[in-house]
Homo-oligomer: A and B are copies of this chain.
Amino acid sequence: MKNKKIIIIGGGVIGLGIGWQLAKAGAAVTIHERGQVGRGASWAAGGMLGPIAEAHIDELDLLKLSNQSLARYPEWVDELESEAEMSIGYRAEGTLIIGIEPDDTYQLRHAYTLYQDLGLNVEWLSGQAAREIEGALSPYVTAAIRCETDHQVDNRLMVQALLHAYQLRGGMLHQHSSVERIVIENGTATGVQTADGFQGADVCILAAGCWSAQISGLPETMIPPVRPVKGQMLALQMREGIMISNVIRTVKARYPMPVYLVPRTDGRLVIGATTEELGFDTDLIVGGIYELLHGAFEAVPAIYKLPLIETWTGLRPGSSDNAPILGKTPIENLIYATGHYRNGILLTPITAYEISTLVRTGEVSEIIAPFHLDRF
């Protein structure tokens, strides 16, 4: 890897994670980030590591990938925290998926059956049993699924740690540096065009999240089918007497929309998220905030008294089948690592480990094979 020049387009957790692993292996890595590093979906995310809660019957390959990434999280946290010399707020308390109205409970029971069929580690709880685990849950919670292995990490801390570890390993970073074009000559990527001119590279990695489809130079059929999916979120400050420790997710058969509540180690309680197909719009809208508060309030009534300390929106990089686009492309020396949609934080370790291995060895692992661009 010595002296191998790598350009990564996108400085989110995916680009930073791959960059860190490659820089560690001795490559000369440069990240071009259109804005500020780690301030896109990496910053906006909830940080849930929830393969079970996000599992869907139509997405079994994704569930497998997610479980493999989750399994590598402890190793990832150890490696990253020791290199960056900081905590990334990994919490292993688990997740409670709760039902409130009778219709929610039917839906919850349906999900539980699916999880059992898939052999996932889940436990059915009565409302009372759920409240014994999280005392702040509403008395109207009628049932819950406990997912002990669905954990969480503080994604903003992870961005900081990745940036630090990446730079300690000699990785170069250009912020506010948009890649206008990927330069392809005779079927081989040779570098990128930025405002500062042509930057040559041995390998180019596209990790630009929801902006991945906007970079020119690619043949029409190779433009990754990735679009922005807006999410609105907010954070409360937990206080004595209302300190939640599990991730809480609601299932809602009807109104209001489902929400999640993610308690951080620093006392922040992150609540999300709307799912809106509005292009690159990032306005914070009354209806979104109202529904989030409504949904969270139904789950944990005591949040009514908590300070609202932050509101924000983010854009998820949604692909056309909700799964990421990973690995080799028909263009030599051009690799994709984008379209992680709702699972970017969860899938960061597997993406960073597998893509860096691919660059180092040229060998495609079985794990990422189902996620090549050519599946579309």
Contacts and interface: CB of A to CB of B under 8 A. Distances in A.
A257 to B, nearest CB: 13
A285 B311 contact: no
A267 to B, nearest CB: 14
Interface residues of A, number: 19
B285 A305 contact: yes
A286 B311 contact: no
Interface stretch (A289-297, A320-328, A330-338): A289-297
Interface string A103-125: 00000000000000000000000
B290 A304 contact: yes
A222 interface: no
B287 A304 contact: yes
A236 interface: yes
Contact of A308 (B294, B307, B311): B311
A306 interface: yes
Contacts of A284: 307-309
B287 A289 contact: no
Interface in A265-311: 283-287, 289-290, 293-294, 297, 303-309, 311
B307 A287 contact: no
Contact of A286 (B285, B286, B287, B293): B293
A283 B306 CA distance: 9
Contact of A285 (B290, B294, B306): B306
A297 B304 CA distance: 18
Interface string A322-362: 00000000000000000000000000000000000000000
A208 B203 CA distance: 65
Contacts of A304: 285-287, 290
A353 to B, nearest CB: 40
Contacts of A308: 284-286, 289, 311
B286 A289 contact: no
15 contacts: A236-B286, A284-B309, A285-B304, A285-B306, A286-B293, A286-B305, A286-B307, A286-B308, A287-B304, A287-B305, A289-B293, A289-B308, A290-B290, A290-B294, A293-B293
Given A284-B308, A286-B308, 17 more contacts: A236-B286, A283-B307, A284-B307, A285-B304, A285-B306, A285-B307, A286-B293, A286-B297, A286-B303, A286-B305, A286-B307, A287-B305, A289-B293, A289-B308, A290-B290, A290-B294, A311-B311
